[in-house]
Amino acid sequence: MDASILLVGGDDLLPTLLERIRDVVTCTLEVVPSPSEAVPLIQAQQPDVIILQSNQLESLALCRQVKEQTKLAWIYCIVLETSLSGLSDDRRQYLLQIEARASALENGADAYLWLPQTTATGEPLEREMLIQQDRLLKSQILCGLRMVQTHRELIRTNDILSAIALSDPLTELNNRRALDWELPRQVQNSRMRLEPLSLLILDIDFFKTINDTHGHAVGDRVLQLISSRLRHNLRFRDTLFRYGGEEFVIILSSTDEMEALLVGRRLCRLVSDQPFSIDDTVNLLVTISAGVAALRADDDPKGTSLLRRADQYLLRAKAEGRNRVIGFLDDCEEELGTRG
């Protein structure tokens, strides 16, 4: 069984319990003598099941600490009691068992097991009793492992669904929803690290004409080919999104506006210089236009104003002839040229 168990207990418990666990279930076993020593191991390895000895002072505190952490709360915690008196009909002993069980569950334990080592008179337990104890121990461990497996399958499913929700099915790029999540994070990182941040909005020129002339299947293929060409010609720190229709957004981290303009112009050349081979009979020359904007101190934390500013420059690029990149620095050059 592909699972791991962490056993936390003293010398009075460990030798016997280790053998019993190995007999009832096959998995990876780690052992630590005290709850305080277990903490770094739990953080690092995140075992599936933790078995804690109840008579150790810090056991219940450790159980509570595990359950209070979201990233660890799925770990199945079993509190094991062996220190109460042996089997008897004593009413006081019964109440002690109930109290110990309640305390364990209140502190986050998923299960509480009472496995006495002897009878009330101190004699060893009968073989049949030990067999039934081992059966109970095995069933409780397997119950925990089933719950952990269910949790992990849910996490995997959620990861798949999240990936689908954030991916554009046609181009396999990040989609607009992914941009809405990523851009505020990039803005925050830029401001925390005092690093520049720029953004490019790209649009395929005359894309409607491509659809009208060659059909939407060819238009979809153009989107796929351009996506691939852009993706394979970006720097490792750049993040590409399909913003919608024939528009794309690229977040350029650690990039000022001058660098962003150079990146945009390079991408324009890469798209326009080589035709796109749709099939054996159709080769299309395609160009793109782009708007560039760099993050400013007065931009909102979601990046909405940054995105809007880049979009405005994109509109100018298309109005001024397409197949070009326009940004704030172009305004500065025009102003200087006018003054000169």
Q: Catalytic amino acids?
A: 246
- The Cα–Cα gap between 184 and 199 comes to 12
Decide: 26 and 49 in contact? Cβ < 8 Å: no
Which DSSP helix (H) or strand (E) runs through 27? none
- The Cα–Cα gap between 218 and 245 comes to 14
- The Cα–Cα gap between 177 and 188 comes to 18
Residue type, 282: V
Residue 252 dihedral angles phi and psi, to the nearest 5°: -110, 95
CA dist 139 → 103, 108, 132, 133, 142 (Å): 22, 20, 10, 10, 5
Q: Which residue in the block uniquely carries the two structure tokens 């009793």?
A: 129
Q: 98: burial class by Cβ within 10 Å (0-12, 13-18, 19+)?
A: exposed
Q: Tokens for 17? A: 């319990």
- The Cα–Cα gap between 96 and 85 comes to 10
- The Cα–Cα gap between 328 and 137 comes to 70
- The Cα–Cα gap between 230 and 88 comes to 77
Residue type, 65: Q
Q: Which residue in the block uniquely carries the two structure tokens 């067999």?
A: 131
Q: What is the DSSP letter of 49?
A: E
